[in-house]
Structures are given as C-alpha cells and as structure tokens.
C-alpha cells in the first residue's frame, strides 16, 4: 500500500515530525511508554511491537513494559509517568468522553512537565494515534520491527 512516491514523501515527513518529538526535552522512556499505551488502546500490533522493542533497546525493564496496560494498578510508575499515561489514554479515547482530557489529568501534566515537554507530549499523543490508525487501516502486521529500522527516513 505504501510503496509509491506519495507514500514515500508522506512517510519521510511523518518520520521527521517524529524526530522533532524524539529530540525534544521529553524523556525518551516517557515517549515510549506513551506510544506503547496508545498503541495498545488502538489495537495497533505493529506500533505495539515497535515501541516495546524501542523501549527495551533504550533500557526499559520487562516488568514495566508488561504493566503499561495496567499502569493504574502498578507501583512501578512515577507520578510524572502516570500523568503522561493518563494523558495518552484520555487523548486517545476522545470519543469516549465528550470533555476530552480531564482537568485533573491536565493539571498533573502541567505539574510534572515544562512547556516544551507538554508540547512534545501532546504532539506525541496526536502523532502516535495517527500512526496507529494508518497501520490498523492497512493491516500492517506485527513482529518484524527492528529498533532503528526507520532512522534512514529522517534528515
């Protein structure tokens, strides 16, 4: 599906947008946890595979990765990580709540992250949801991702 000129142009720009977030002051472990949680919610096998492997490559533990789906009941996440995971869930499940992100979640995000980190976090939630939707729509299979395999797409 994505083996044509238009897809290549879009993919490169999408990867570049991802690099802006990757190079932001938002800690990489937070980025991976947020991407993983949104991907789980959206049922995107490819992105779940990617972000699990990228998080592992970055040093994340299997215990924490295994508990992302149950982060509310887990004791292994910091308050800042919990705020980011709550934003990821509420920002992903917009149709489930007419109010979108709750005031409580927004206040927690603002408490734990500076302005640039908040911008990166909101942008990440939007971008991972777009990636999830594209991969689910075209049925991209999971399991073949290797960390760094898309690095050549960025400038």
Q: What is the pLDDT along the chain (155 residues), one digit of tens a residue?
A: 567 899 889 988 998 999 999 999 999 999 999 999 999 999 999 999 999 999 999 899 999 999 999 999 999 999 999 999 999 999 999 888 777 899 999 999 999 999 999 999 999 999 999 999 999 999 999 988 888 777 766 65
Residues 6+ apart with CB under 8 A from 145: 46, 49, 50, 53
Give the chain's domains with CATH numbers. 27-144 (1.20.1290.10)
Rounded to the nearest 10°, the torsion over CA 57, 60, 66, 69 is -100
d(CA 44, CA 80): 25
3-class state of residue 39 by DSSP: helix
Please state the length of the chain.
155
Please, are residues 121 and 82 in contact by the beta-carbon 8 Å criterion? Answer: no
Question: For 5-18, b where at least 16 C-beta lie within 10 A, e where not — what string?
Answer: eeeeeeeeebbebb
Structure-block tokens of residue 98: 């007419």
Model confidence, pTM: 0.92
Token match 């990228």: residue?
A: 54
3-state secondary structure of 21: helix
Tell me the C-alpha distance between 64 and 83, whole Å.
Answer: 16
What percent helix, strand, coil does the chain show, rounded to 5?
Answer: 70, 0, 30
């Amino acid at each position: 599906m994505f083996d044509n000129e238009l897809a290549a142009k879009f993919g490169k720009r999408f990867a570049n947008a991802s690099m802006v977030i990757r190079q932001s002051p938002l800690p990489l472990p937070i980025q991976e946890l947020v991407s993983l949680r949104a991907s789980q919610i959206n049922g995107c096998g490819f992105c779940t595979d990617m972000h699990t492997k990228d998080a592992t490559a970055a040093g994340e533990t299997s215990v924490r990765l295994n508990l992302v789906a149950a982060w509310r009941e887990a004791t292994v996440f910091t308050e800042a990580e919990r705020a980011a995971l709550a934003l990821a869930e509420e920002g992903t499940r917009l149709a489930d709540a007419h109010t979108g992100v709750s005031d409580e979640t927004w206040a927690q995000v603002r408490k734990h992250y500076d302005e640039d980190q908040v911008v990166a976090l909101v942008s990440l939630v939007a971008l991972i949801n777009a990636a999830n939707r594209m991969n689910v729509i075209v049925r991209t299979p999971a399991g073949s991702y290797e960390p760094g395999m898309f690095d050549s797409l960025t400038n």
